[in-house]
Amino acid sequence: MKKIMNIFSVLLSLVFLSTCKTEKSKEIGHDSLNIQNPYLGQKPPGLKPIPFAPGLVCTEIYEYDGAFTPDMKAFYFIRRGEKNKESAFYEYKYNEINRTWEKSEIASPWIGRPVIAPDGETMHLGDRFLKRTASGWSELHNLAPPTISNDSMYIMRLSSSANGTYYFDTYKENDSTFPIRYSRLINGQHEEPIALPEAINTGTFLSHPFIAPDESYLLFDAEREDGFGESDIYISFKQKDGTWGNGINLGDKINTNAWEASASITPDGKHLFFSRNVGSKDFENVDIFWVSSKVIENLRY
């Protein structure tokens, strides 16, 4: 009988400890989660896109442009529409000591659309950037000419390959016809930007390029006649002869009659991230979606 009572006491203690741990997790809330898994602890999707980290990243307002660091231990995104804020730039960072993902606000208002270079040393923010330092990210820097050579133009999104080549959109107020350009790094300096071919630069609102580290493909979004509605996401594969293949629409699993944009591939190569308008034409609700990168491989030829 005594032995049975001891076993019962142990089981009761375990239940009590488990309950305490659950309550502690509830107290911690969304800003410091007990997560030991990658992707903020989220279960990876299959071939059907789903919102990323509901309640943590995706909410009932406007979130877009998610980006992981190459070590997958930090995630950045922009949120608009919060009370008393025009927009804000957030970071979820994995704490190695207590094994939690911790959220912090980096800047308000937001400072640009984040794309992190393959080496993890630069965070591109359109026509501005941050550099990695021993204590974190540096102060904000402006791109130097010739990448930016006209004060009336601006870059919404810039992505760099492993060898330092820039791919970026260029905008001028009330003009949606500017092409996506690239600029190679030659002897430590970026060359005068060159427009990509018509295989990519066809349509309007050519925006948000993302270049693969090895430059084997380019993701971008545009409004084209073969699209499903508003802006759609396309991919162009580099051919064996070095030319770019025609832009391929990612299809009706990714693109809808709504606005889809800002696609990227996670540094581990496993998932495609993109933004989608899930509200009205006023864009009061935009979410960051993710899906298996197999949707890309299925289009490769």
For the chain, which residues make up each domain, given as ranges? 1-30, 31-297
Which of 263, 150, 247, 158 lies closest to 203, judged by CA? 247
Q: Give the span between the Cα atoms of 212 and 269, in whole angstroms.
A: 10
186 residue type, one letter: I
Q: What is the CATH number of domain 31-297?
A: 2.120.10.30
Q: Give the span between the Cα atoms of 268 and 275, in whole angstroms.
A: 19
* Structure confidence at residue 144 (pLDDT): 83
* Structure confidence at residue 13 (pLDDT): 37
* Structure confidence at residue 29 (pLDDT): 34
For the stretch 219-245, pLDDT in tens is 999 999 989 989 999 999 999 999 999
Long-range (24+ apart) CB contacts under 8 A made by 135-138 are 137/106
Tell me the torsion sign for CA atoms 202, 177, 286, 159.
positive
> Within 10 Å of residue 4's Cβ, how many Cβ atoms?
8
> Within 10 Å of residue 67's Cβ, how many Cβ atoms?
22
Q: Give the span between the Cα atoms of 126 and 182, in whole angstroms.
A: 13
For the stretch 115-134, pLDDT in tens is 999 999 999 999 999 999 99
Q: Give the span between the Cα atoms of 134 and 19, in whole angstroms.
A: 40
Question: Which segments in the chain show pLDDT lower than 70?
Answer: 1-36, 148-152, 174, 176, 301
Do residues 127 and 155 make contact, with C-beta atoms less than 8 angstroms apart? yes
